[in-house]
């Protein structure tokens, strides 16, 4: 019988949701027996049995030697030839292969199986025009520029031997130490001439308090109690005594803020440096404003457009988010046990975030369809030219990158066009105040 033959079967819907359907299918022996005959004939063509040529093994021997193979092949064939027909009866277009469960079959009996399938949601996006947005603009002030100049001076400071010879709250202290826990030395906690920046936020408080006021040559016993969730399991929850010797005390010496300093930064003079800082802050502020506007648009769209999305796609997105978090934590030195605990604790949060991400993608695609927003070849060519202009010596690399990532680039450009459309059609109220100094 032809592989295109359609068999008669009974099917019923067990559960139906906007993106999910669960069904049960039954196929009578009169239909499975037809397919079984075809399956055995197919096995006969390739079966190898001692004493017989390939393709010439008698059918009774085939049935005696290959019942399990025939049964498995029969089930596979019958499911393939009926599952999509069952979905077609319900006018349900699956986005992927249905998941088959609960198969029941013995030779001569009715074949029964259940399955679940998912489809794309029907999306009609609502309320995406005239979105009310509050845009708060920060004006760059001289105080912001001066703060950035202070940071630049600090970054270009030189370390010199302390003029007072005494450890202060912002000193750089060069120490040698050994660590002890319950009176026993910890081999891994040992250092010679290690520099500690007491002004740094991540410096342990015990060192900040214990070294303050010390002088070169002093010895100090500094006790550190590590938190129970500390990344290093060997130290987590333990008290460690650092027997510390102060080898040297240093402090920062800032350069003078003048035209020479600006020239060292690659600029003509101090005024030019201030101008560049202002431009940088204004560009950063523009990005912040755009990000805030986009965030408000997304929140509005998600709030006004609630619908079911395929669970399998949400799960795929959730796995991506968790992997991204895990990879980042690994890069920061976290161990597998700590990462596993964080994943477990964040499971619900990432599930909710994944659902929103997937729903948003459907919303944006719906807007694209409604407003006929597309990315043409000219826009792609213009984007490639921008990259070529920015990388004039890497033409081949840019060409290869575009060839390999054309679909992703087009998707990114389309998203930019969607948000531009949404902003252009939004109702934006603006307010302005001085940028906070931070």
What is the bridge-based pairing of β-strands 132-139 and 427-434? Answer: parallel
**Is 326 in the same domain as 363?**
yes
Are residue 173 and residue 272 in the same domain, yes or no?
Answer: no
- Please determine, for residue 6, whether its predicted confidence score (pLDDT) is greater than 80: no
Identify whether residues 100 and 17 lie together within a single domain: yes
Same domain, 220 and 273: no
Residue scoring higher pLDDT (28 or 200): 28
Asked if residue 77 lies in contact with residue 111, where contact means CB atoms within 8 angstroms, the answer is no
Segment (H or E) for 174: strand 172-181
Rounded percentage of the chain residues whose pLDDT exceeds 90: 84
Does residue 363 share a domain with residue 312? yes
Q: What mean pLDDT comes out for the span 357-372? A: 96
pLDDT classification of 5: cutoffs 50, 70, 90: low
Tokens representing 415? 């998203």
- pTM for this prediction: 0.78
Same domain, residue pair 367 and 427: yes
- The CATH number of the domain where 44 resides is what? 3.30.70.1050
One domain, residues 34 and 163: no
Given pLDDT bands bounded at 50, 70 and 90, which one contains residue 4? Answer: low
Instruction: Report yes or no on 153 lying in a domain.
Output: no
Determine, yes or no, domain membership for 289.
yes
CATH code for the domain in which residue 316 is found? 1.10.3120.10
Closest to 13 (Cα-Cα) out of 128, 135, 85, 114? 114
pLDDT per residue as tens digits for the range 384-428: 999 999 999 999 999 999 999 999 999 999 999 999 999 999 999
| CA-angle at 180, arms to 179 and 181, nearest 5° | 130
Angle between helices 395-424 and 377-390 (to 10 degrees): 120
If asked whether residues 230 and 362 sit together in one domain, one would say: no
- Claim to verify: residue 229 and residue 343 sit in the same structural domain: no
Range of the domain at 199: 158-253
- Whole-angstrom distance, CA of residue 19 vs CA of residue 12: 17
Secondary structure class of 152 (helix, strand, coil): helix
Regarding whether 307 and 356 lie in a shared domain, the answer is yes
pLDDT digits (tens, 9 = 90+) for 221-270: 999 888 887 777 777 888 899 999 999 999 999 999 999 999 999 999 99
Assess contact for 196 and 175: CB atoms under 8 A.
yes
**Band (2; pLDDT cuts 50, 70, 90):** very low
Average pLDDT value over all residues in the chain: 93
Last residue of a domain, one of 253, 285, 306: 253
Asked if residue 126 is part of any domain, the answer here is: no
Residues forming a β-bridge with 253: 158
Residue 106 confidence class, pLDDT cut points 50, 70, 90: very high
Q: What is the pLDDT of residue 1?
A: 43
Question: Is residue 306 one of the residues assigned to a domain?
Answer: yes
Q: How many domains does the chain have?
A: 3
The answer to whether residues 294 and 429 belong to one domain is: yes
Domain with 168 in it: what CATH number?
Answer: 3.10.50.40
Look up tokens 């695609």; give the residue: 365
Q: At what angle do helices 67-89 and 29-46 cross, to 10 degrees?
A: 130
Q: Rounded mean pLDDT of 31-48?
A: 94
Whether 328 and 233 share a structural domain: no
């Amino acid at each position: 019988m032809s592989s295109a033959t359609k068999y008669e079967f009974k099917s019923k819907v067990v559960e139906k949701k906007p993106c999910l359907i669960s069904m049960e299918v039954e196929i009578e022996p009169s239909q499975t027996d037809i397919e079984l005959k075809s399956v055995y004939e197919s096995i006969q063509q390739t079966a190898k049995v001692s004493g017989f040529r390939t393709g010439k093994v008698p059918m009774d021997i085939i049935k005696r030697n290959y019942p399990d193979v025939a049964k498995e092949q029969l089930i596979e064939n019958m499911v393939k030839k009926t599952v999509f027909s069952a979905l077609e009866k319900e006018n349900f277009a699956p986005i992927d292969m249905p998941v088959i469960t609960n198969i029941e079959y013995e030779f001569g009996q009715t074949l029964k199986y259940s399955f679940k399938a998912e489809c794309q949601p029907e999306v009609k996006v609502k309320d995406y025009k005239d979105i009310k947005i509050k845009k708060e603009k920060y004006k760059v002030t001289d105080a912001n520029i001066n703060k950035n100049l202070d940071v630049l001076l600090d970054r270009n400071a030189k370390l010199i031997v302390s003029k007072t010879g005494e450890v202060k709250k912002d000193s750089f202290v060069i120490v040698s130490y050994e660590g002890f826990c319950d009176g026993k030395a910890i081999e891994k906690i040992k250092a010679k001439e290690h520099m500690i920046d007491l002004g740094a936020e991540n410096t342990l408080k015990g060192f900040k308090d214990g070294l303050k006021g010390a002088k070169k040559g002093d010895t100090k016993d500094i006790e550190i109690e590590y938190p129970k969730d500390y990344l290093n399991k060997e130290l987590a929850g333990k008290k460690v005594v650092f027997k510390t010797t102060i080898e040297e005390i240093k402090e920062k010496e800032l350069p003078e803020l003048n035209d020479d300093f600006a020239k060292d930064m690659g600029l003509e003079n101090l005024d030019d440096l201030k101008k560049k800082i202002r431009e940088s802050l204004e560009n950063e502020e523009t990005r912040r404003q755009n990000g805030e506007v986009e965030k408000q648009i997304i929140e509005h769209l998600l709030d006004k457009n609630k619908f079911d999305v395929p669970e399998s796609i949400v799960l795929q997105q959730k796995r991506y988010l968790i992997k991204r978090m895990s990879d980042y934590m690994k890069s920061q030195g976290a161990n597998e046990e700590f990462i596993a605990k964080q994943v477990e604790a964040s499971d619900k949060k990432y599930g909710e975030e994944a659902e929103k991400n997937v729903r948003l993608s459907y919303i944006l695609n719906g807007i694209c369809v409604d407003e006929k927003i597309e990315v043409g070849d000219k826009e792609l060519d213009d984007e490639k030219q921008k990259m070529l202009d920015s990388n004039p010596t890497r033409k081949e690399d840019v060409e290869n990158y575009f060839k390999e990532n054309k679909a992703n680039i087009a998707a990114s450009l389309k998203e930019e066009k969607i948000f531009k459309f949404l902003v252009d059609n939004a109702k934006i109220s603006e307010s302005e105040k001085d940028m906070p100094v931070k």
